[in-house]
């Protein structure tokens, strides 16, 4: 019985370790392939880390950025702050977005308090179509 208990405990600890280390980001809305109006809601989520304003410099926390038709930012590089790189540095997990009609590549990138990219493991790209008024 003692051997079975040790095996079970070891398996549980391994599972907890795997779950705790699974880090990712995703768009809640819109989803890949969606067609949206010119003003639409962006919603994001993160797994394995916590969302916080840039004033929180602890490890394991960060904030979102949305890159619009922009090149990926490699790990450790600072994400620019311009029309193609939207910062959500107050810890927002949703926001209204306005885009002209057309096709867009949106990339959600999680970064630290200094806006340094966590790279590919904390990045998600989708493609959307923005439709004008009918």
Which DSSP helix (H) or strand (E) runs through 21? helix 2-21
Q: Round to whole Å and give the CA distance between 6 and 39.
A: 56
Q: Round to whole Å and give the CA distance between 65 and 117.
A: 9
Q: Does 19 score more than 70 pLDDT?
A: no
- For the ranges 13-17, 80-84, 115-119, the lowest mean pLDDT is seen at 13-17
What are the extents of the domains in the chain?
23-131
Q: Does 15 score more than 70 pLDDT?
A: no
Cα 112 to Cα 23, 49, 52, 88, 116, distances in angstroms: 14, 11, 9, 12, 5
Q: Token digits for 129?
A: 């179509």
Across the chain, what does the average pLDDT equal?
90
Confidence label for 73 from pLDDT (cuts 50, 70 and 90): very high
Look at 34 and 8; give whichever has higher pLDDT. Answer: 34
Q: Round to whole Å and give the CA distance between 70 and 47.
A: 24
How much is the pLDDT for 10? 57
Q: Token digits for 101?
A: 């009609």
How much is the pLDDT for 4? 60
Q: State pLDDT tens for residues 98-127.
A: 999 999 999 999 999 999 999 999 999 999
Q: Round to whole Å and give the CA distance between 91 and 50.
A: 9
Q: pTM for the full model?
A: 0.82
At the topology level, CATH places domain 23-131 in: Immunoglobulin-like (2.60.40)
Q: Round to whole Å and give the CA distance between 21 and 31.
A: 25
The arithmetic mean of pLDDT across residues 30-44, rounded, is 98
How much is the pLDDT for 134? 63
The arithmetic mean of pLDDT across residues 10-23, rounded, is 56
């Amino acid at each position: 019985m003692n051997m079975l208990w040790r095996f079970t405990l070891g398996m549980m600890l391994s599972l907890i370790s795997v779950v705790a280390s699974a880090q990712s980001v995703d768009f809640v809305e819109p989803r890949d392939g969606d067609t949206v109006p010119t003003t639409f809601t962006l919603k994001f989520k993160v797994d394995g880390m916590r969302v916080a304003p840039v004033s929180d410099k602890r490890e394991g926390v960060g904030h979102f950025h949305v890159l619009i038709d922009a090149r990926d930012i490699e790990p450790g590089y600072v994400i620019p702050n311009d029309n193609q790189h939207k910062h959500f540095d107050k810890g927002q997990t949703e926001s209204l977005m306005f885009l002209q009609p057309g096709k867009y590549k949106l990339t959600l990138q999680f970064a630290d308090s200094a806006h340094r990219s966590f790279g590919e493991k904390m990045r998600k790209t989708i493609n959307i179509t923005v439709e004008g008024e009918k």
